[in-house]
Amino acid sequence: MLLRSGLLRPVRVWKNLGLCSRITVGAQTRHKSTDASEDEVKHFRELAPTWWDTNGSQRILHKMNLARLDFVQRTIRNQVKIQDPEIFVPAFNYKEFLPEYVCDNIQREIQESIESSLDERPGMSVLDVGCGGGILSESLARLKWVKSVQGIDLTHECIMVAKEHSKKDPMLERKLSYECKALEDVTGQFNIITCMEMLEHVDVPSEILRHCWTRLSPDNGVLFLSTINRDLISWFTTIYMGENVLKVVPKGTHHLSKYINSKEIIAWFNDNYSGQFRLLDLKGTMYLPLRGWVEHDCSDVGNYFMAIQRLE
Ligand SMILES: CC(C)=CCC/C(C)=C/CC/C(C)=C/CC/C(C)=C/CC/C(C)=C/CC/C(C)=C/Cc1cc(C(=O)O)cc(O)c1O
Ligand SMILES: C[S@@+](CC[C@H](N)C(=O)[O-])C[C@H]1O[C@@H](n2cnc3c(N)ncnc32)[C@H](O)[C@@H]1O
Ligand SMILES: [Mg+2]
């Protein structure tokens, strides 16, 4: 039972799908398919005041930020094709054959070429869905090749904390904006959409994915997801150890039945957008006490990062 639910959770009753897609899950009736449940909003409302305490209730989210920003930057950089004929891009595993200093020079020149290519392009627009207090939103807004970041969240207090914190850095004022609104009320399309540690908190994650997709630029827009597989190791690490033993995650944050398998998301995209997307990267990630969040290749277990590119 607990391992059953997945993307299309057992929504007990769908009403008035035509005019205002009202969903009734249990006793709660909501008017939007991407609405947040009252208990989730209540949970995060209580965490809002300490959101930016890097040793407080969100300390694990702050630590995760380093890893997911690496994932985002690496994925975007890997999409840049080196055009400069002066740049030597080996077509073999040069690190096995060339001296370390030569390898370092090759790597540095490639990275510099990628960075200048990104700088020459028009800046990227970003939508951060379920931005919370803005931990990821601020980091993305500070990237040179990002033109704008719009953070949305349905916990009003989180948005207020995000707005207040962003005022501490004047550079953010022209690139970063926040709104307390549902995803389906967001207009426009974006080069990048991030939906980090949020899918496992919504009642119908497929609706979030669908509304992300329609707001993703058809010109190679990239959707970044991070969420948690529905398996016993996830329960052991994120709930039993995270919330009950180590108490590094606020109690009641997660519910195993709301977790989503990476395979379910890929299957959903194949069912709904076959041939229109490319899975750019999928990595498992795990928190280790003395090392922080580390990536691994077992993306069917525990937490994972996923990057999906829209091709048309
Ligand atoms: C192949 C493979 C993965 C094998 C794993 C095998 C196994 C059993 C490994 C055990 C790993 C280990 C060393 C466990 C020891 C205990 C430990 C360090 C557990 C991790 C606890 C932890 C930090 C969980 C993170 C939970 C999580 C998803 C955090 C993000 C987050 C945070 C918050 C918040 O801070 O409020 C809110 C959210 O919604 C989040 O998603
Ligand atoms: C764990 S926090 C993650 C915050 C941020 N994405 C990060 O990783 O730093 C989850 C956030 O999702 C928000 N949320 C939950 N359901 C939502 C929904 N349906 N629409 C918008 N935000 C939602 C919560 O209010 C909360 O701020
Ligand atoms: Mg979570």
pLDDT in tens, 29-49: 556 777 888 999 999 999 999
Judging by beta carbons within 10 Å of its beta carbon (0-12, 13-18, 19+), is residue 25 exposed, middle or buried? middle
Q: Average pLDDT in the 194-207 region?
A: 96
Give the H/E segment covering residue 64. Answer: helix 59-78
Q: Average pLDDT in the 50-76 region?
A: 96
Q: What class, spelled out in words, does domain 42-77+123-310 have in CATH? A: alpha beta
Beta bridge partner(s), residue 14: 23
Q: What is the ipTM of this complex?
A: 0.93
Domain layout of the chain by residue ranges: 42-77+123-310, 80-120
Q: Average pLDDT in the 162-170 region?
A: 98
* Ligand 1 pocket at CB < 6 A: 47, 57-58, 60-61, 64, 197, 228, 233, 236-238, 241-242, 246, 248-250, 253, 284, 286-289, 296, 298, 301-303
Q: To the nearest 5 percent, what fractions of the chain are helix, strand and coil?
A: 40, 20, 40
Sign of CA dihedral 295, 299, 305, 311: positive
Q: Is 201 in the pocket of ligand 2 (CB under 6 A)?
A: yes
Q: Average pLDDT in the 155-181 region?
A: 97
Q: Ligand 1 atom closest to Cα of 286? A: 3
CB atoms inside a 10 Å sphere around CB 69: 16
